[in-house]
């Protein structure tokens, strides 16, 4: 069984091709295109590369195409992509303007180019279906909540991968098995005492922090939209709700212009006035650029805030995990985030921390009560595994259908 996982950005297409056979899983091919102006041409280039590599000669070689979709109105979980699912995604275009429109357009292209190949979406919100309701609600009228104003949580595939891998590294196969079966039995797989408490820090172009109790998410720093939580690359992060009407009245901005500035000119870019790339900011801060230093300081402060919240929710921690582009590759920021936390049981080993970039490793001292790990994430593998599981469930039932958590049904994509 070969499953292609496509990651669609507003100007990019990245892919990984996985093969599942004989109980083994293998990455066959990976690739990507940046600065995409023509998605149709990009899709042809993707399929061309897979063909030249000898992996995919035609649609018959693919069991499915999986997508790491973000959110949709009334739809979550791992589901077959139907027209109603795409319409549910479009209903939240304004909540995820950098994500939903390119995914909807890209999925339609895949459907036209690969007719008959199952298209499956694993929504980022799926991992938070079992989080406590108190962690996911805003203090707004019930009518607002019914309309979709609530915390949804994102980076679900990444945090799920970290939940499973950290459990394996911490010697807790029971917790790892619960995470593997999460979308099958909703977290009902039993685990032994003592509880495993992990704080997963996905720090990258977009960032979020999730407390994990025995593999289950207790919440997420991202809220209703991917524009919340920590300062993102060029998206605002947390902001007082009354700031929007205030700047509209004070600066004479339209709602559309406010949305544009919050999504494209804020975050690390807005703070620094220089760049939305953390590598540029680290370099510029070292050269004395005040805006770059401010952006880094705000990012570190926010990460410490959310990790502190996770510590309080969990009542302590057994492991703290850094992942994604910043978490995996910026030892200086990891050190800044963990500075002064020895009394909390978190103590980094400076030499280990400096040595780990883009690889898996423990970076805490032997004295640290909390083990601190760097674990490269693998969101695409999580998507491929869940797509495989869905196809197997459908085969066992004797036909295609949506998962029980989908909350939507509809005709085939066209």
* Annotated binding-site ranges for ATP: 14, 277-279, 325-329
Helix, strand, or coil here: 202? strand
Binding site, by residue number, is 7, 14, 277-279, 325-329, 379
For CA atoms 325, 328, 333, 336, the dihedral sign is positive
Contact 291, 271 (CB under 8 A): yes
Closest alpha carbon to 343 in 318, 369, 306 = 369
Residue ranges of the binding site for Mg(2+) = 7, 379
β-sheet with 13-21: strand ranges across: 24-33, 13-21, 2-8, 64-67, 119-122, 78-80
Number of CB atoms found within 10 A of residue 298's CB: 17
CA 161/CA 321 separation, integer angstroms? 11
Contact between 293 and 282 (Cβ < 8 Å): no
DSSP calls for 57-93:
SSGGG-SEEEE----BTTB-SEEE-BHHHHHHHHTTT
| Dihedral (CA of 350, 352, 357, 358) sign | negative
Beta bridge partners of 372: 320
Beta partners for residue 20, in sequence order:
25
Are the C-beta atoms of residues 57 and 97 closer than 8 Å to each other?
no
The tokens describing 284, both together, are 């510029």
CA proximity to 65, closest of 111, 124, 152, 4: 4
Cα dihedral 197/295/375/135 (nearest 10): 30
DSSP string, 125-182: GGGGTTS-HHHH--SS-HHHHHHT-S-----HHHHHHHHHHHHHHTT-HHHHHHHHTH
């Amino acid at each position: 069984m070969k499953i292609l996982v496509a990651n669609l950005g507003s100007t990019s297409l990245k892919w990984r091709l996985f093969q599942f056979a004989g109980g083994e899983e293998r990455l066959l091919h990976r690739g990507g295109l940046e600065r995409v102006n023509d998605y149709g041409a990009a899709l042809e280039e993707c399929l061309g590369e897979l063909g030249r590599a000898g992996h995919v000669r035609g649609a018959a070689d693919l069991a499915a195409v999986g997508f790491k979709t973000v959110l949709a109105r009334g739809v979550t979980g791992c589901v077959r992509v139907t027209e109603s699912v795409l319409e549910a995604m479009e209903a939240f275009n304004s909540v995820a303007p950098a994500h939903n429109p390119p995914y909807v357009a890209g999925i339609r292209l895949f459907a036209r180019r690969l007719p008959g190949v199952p298209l499956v979406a694993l929504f980022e919100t799926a991992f938070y279906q079992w989080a406590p309701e108190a962690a996911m609600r805003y203090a707004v009228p019930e009518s607002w909540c019914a309309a979709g104003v609530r915390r949804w949580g994102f980076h679900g595939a990444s945090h799920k991968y970290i939940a499973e891998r950290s459990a394996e590294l911490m010697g807790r196969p029971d917790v790892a098995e619960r995470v593997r079966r999460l979308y099958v039995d909703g977290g009902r797989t039993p685990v032994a005492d003592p509880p495993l408490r992990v704080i997963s820090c996905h720090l990258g172009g977009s960032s979020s922090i999730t407390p994990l109790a025995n593999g289950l998410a207790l919440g997420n720093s991202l809220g209703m939209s991917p524009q919340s939580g920590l300062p993102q690359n060029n998206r605002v992060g947390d902001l007082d709700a009354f700031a929007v009407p205030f700047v509209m009245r004070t600066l004479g901005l339209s709602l559309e212009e406010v949305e544009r500035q919050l999504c494209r000119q804020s975050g690390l870019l807005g703070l620094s006035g220089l760049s939305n790339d953390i590598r540029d900011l680290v370099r510029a801060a070292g050269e004395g650029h005040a805006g770059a230093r401010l952006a880094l300081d705000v990012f570190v402060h926010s990460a410490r805030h959310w990790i502190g919240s996770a510590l309080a929710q969990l009542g302590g921690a057994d492991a703290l995990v850094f992942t994604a582009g910043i978490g995996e590759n910026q030892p200086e920021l990891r050190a800044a985030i963990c500075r002064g936390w020895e009394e909390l049981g978190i103590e980094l080993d400076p030499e280990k921390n400096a040595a780990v970039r883009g690889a898996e490793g423990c970076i805490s001292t032997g004295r640290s009560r909390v083990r601190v790990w760097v674990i490269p994430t693998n969101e695409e593998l999580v998507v491929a595994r869940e797509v495989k599981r869905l196809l197997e469930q459908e085969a066992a039932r004797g036909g295609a259908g949506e998962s029980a958590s989908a909350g939507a049904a509809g005709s085939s994509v066209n």
